[in-house]
A and B are shown apart, each in its own frame.
Chain A
Amino acid sequence: MVAQRFGGVKPAPQTTEIAKVTAVGSDTLEALDAVPYRRPAILTRFEVTNVATTVPGRLTARAAKVLLAVVALLSGIAIPDAPAQTIDARRLGMGGVITSDMGSASAANIAFRAVPKGRGHHSFPLPLGLIQLASDPPEFDSDSPDFNVFEIADLITNPPLTLSLSRPDPVSSDVRIYVAQDSLSIDLEDLRRIVPESSLRNGGVTHLPGFAVGFRKAFVGISPLVHVQNQLDLEPALRAVLRDAAPFTTRTRYGLADVGVAQGAVALQAGLAFRAFHAPVPGQDKDEEKGDGDPRRSGATALYVGAAPKILYGIAYGDLRGLGGATTGDTLLGSGDPVSLDVAARTRHAIAGGDGGSGHGFGADVGAVLYWRNLEIGVGMNDLASEIDWKVTERMHVYDDSLDEFTTTPLAIDRDFTSRIPVTTTINVARRFGVTTLAATVVDAPLSTSIHLGAEMWMGLLAVRAGTYRDANDAWQVTGGGGVRFGKIGIDLAVASHQRYIEEKRAVELAASLTLY
């Protein structure tokens, strides 16, 4: 097995088998194929389930086009939907539920585009957390005694878009190592909190801000998407050593496995969203008879459906499936070298303008929402059957214990490979009783299923909201808030618990939004 640089090889028109599998060991490949990538009961550090809103609406005049384009741009920037983070204060106050009258949630179900606005609103979250960050930024200088990489990690996993009212103490403590003859243990103390109890999974599908224009029932748009997903599994022995400060023992393998994938694409999308069925309540007003009324509160029966196939232009793809570990010998701390190290990883990649070139694929967003006696039931599926065909370069990287070096073996050039964009399914139910709304939402995302329950009651110009949701870590959180409306403008506030910090301890945040009705 000879180490090779592979970047200079020109892509062949067809799949080229570079090396026999046996050159790197069929056992290794089988082991890599067996690396778990199942869906565990728990564990997501964070998850991006969607969705940056693109331009909503129907354009009836040039001015409207300009206005909507500006709104779209602003909303795309203002509502980036950070990892599992809801920053629309009205929605957060209601436990993060999704309903058809929440502008920030419209991308969850494409059929929402066809539903009359009614009392719907569009929120512009006020990123109060940025003020807090500016007043008390973390230390980025690693030479400073105040430098704490976990504070920076928290900043990434929990973007400062909401005001942090309370947060767990940062990971901080001594580390203790105990060494004796044939005995070694390490106590990470506070750091044990960041060693996962089971698989460490993170990532998700992010639809970045894009542009869409609508013509009555139809629309076209373009938006980039990024899918990143990783799962790191520690073998029980290694987890015990790190999390439980268990002593290292002889003749034991301390290993880990990692499976990761990252891909980016641009979606060119065209779709239709329309009312497929409408049965007004007899005696309703003229608008309702024509079907222009608000089906959420009119009592009418109406079905709205939408579908938007998309062409996916793949920009880059990469994945890794790896195993690594160290196996102790008959003695610990002996004078010899009884530890054997093993690392093996298989990588695949393709990139536009480089190895393999761009990818090409198709997918679709579909959705439907039914109104019946003021009950709203919606189902939206984004990235349904979304696949991208690539021609990947495949390599095997193996650590040679005897030579103490890595060798890279090309396995194939331009091998046909199809990647998938995981589907995100959103099911929402809402019932409106006059000034009161009760809602529930289930979001089945690539890494987890979250459940949201919420309620809202208007008392004149004031709204009171409460909710709860089960987050990506299966922990239940509590939310509440309120709002005040001044004509077409309103201000909403919400307070919610969450566990997005790396320490996985509960914290409390405050969100604020400016709302246009």
Chain B
Amino acid sequence: MRRLMPVVALLAILGTGFAGCGDRSLILTVNILSFLDPTETSAAYSVPGGAPSATADIADRSVNLLQGLNDATDVASATLDFAATLDNVTGTATGTLLFYAVPSDTASLFTSIPIASIPISLTPGTITNVSTRVTSDALAEALVSDQARVGIRLSLDTSATPLGQFVQGTETITQLLATVVTKKKI
């Protein structure tokens, strides 16, 4: 599909660029969740207690996007709807669920500034639903590139859980939907 992408992008750009009046925006909606493997959208975690900073990289994936979009459009805005469910079985912890996105030619995904960060608080035997909506220029930069790299990281502080015990459960990403509004540049 890679070479069909320029055609699609061209159609879209021509449409918005020439269609006069109104907002004339090209609205790109990317269902990032669909690009993740099931093992990445729903993963078990097990972090030993007493750790003030433990991380688990849940997903790290390249996503093919529309070629040529970056050259022909200016980004007006970008939003990300990010939601997850954490089914915590044992242990107590606080932390954050982080989403990263960078153009694929960026060296390191997880050293970049996260696009979205959701605070979480885990207690034994509880199911926690969390969500956030963020706007991000960095997200836009990633999604108008030919290929993006996206990742999800779970960062926990398990200091509240005694040593020798574990914070265990399952996280499930339920929504990861990006919307980028662009204007024609040509």
Contact = CB atoms under 8 A, between A and B. Distances in A.
B31 A326 contact: no
Interface in A188-204: 188, 190-191
Interface stretch (A36-44, A73-81, A226-234, A331-339): A331-339
A176 B179 CA distance: 10
B3 A337 contact: yes
Interface string B170-182: 0000000000000
A242 B8 CA distance: 10
Chain A interface size range: 35 or more
A333 B61 CA distance: 13
B66 A188 contact: no
B109 to A, nearest CB: 17
Interface string A239-280: 000100000100000100000000000000000000000000
Interface in B33-64: 34-35, 62-64
B27 A186 contact: no
B31 A175 contact: no
B71 to A, nearest CB: 16
Given A146-B20, A328-B4, A181 B26 contact: no
Contacts of A170: 20-21
B22 A334 contact: no
A333 B64 contact: yes
Nearest to A341: B3
B66 A191 contact: no
A184 B3 contact: no
B34 A181 contact: yes
A136 interface: no
A147 B14 CA distance: 12
Interface in A443-469: none
B81 to A, nearest CB: 14
A94 B35 CA distance: 63
Interface string A373-391: 0000000000000000000
Interface string A303-336: 0000000000000000000000010110111111
A248 B1 contact: yes
Contact of A326 (B4, B19, B65): B4
Interface of A: 139, 146-151, 170-184, 186, 188, 190-191, 242, 248, 254, 326, 328-329, 331-339, 341
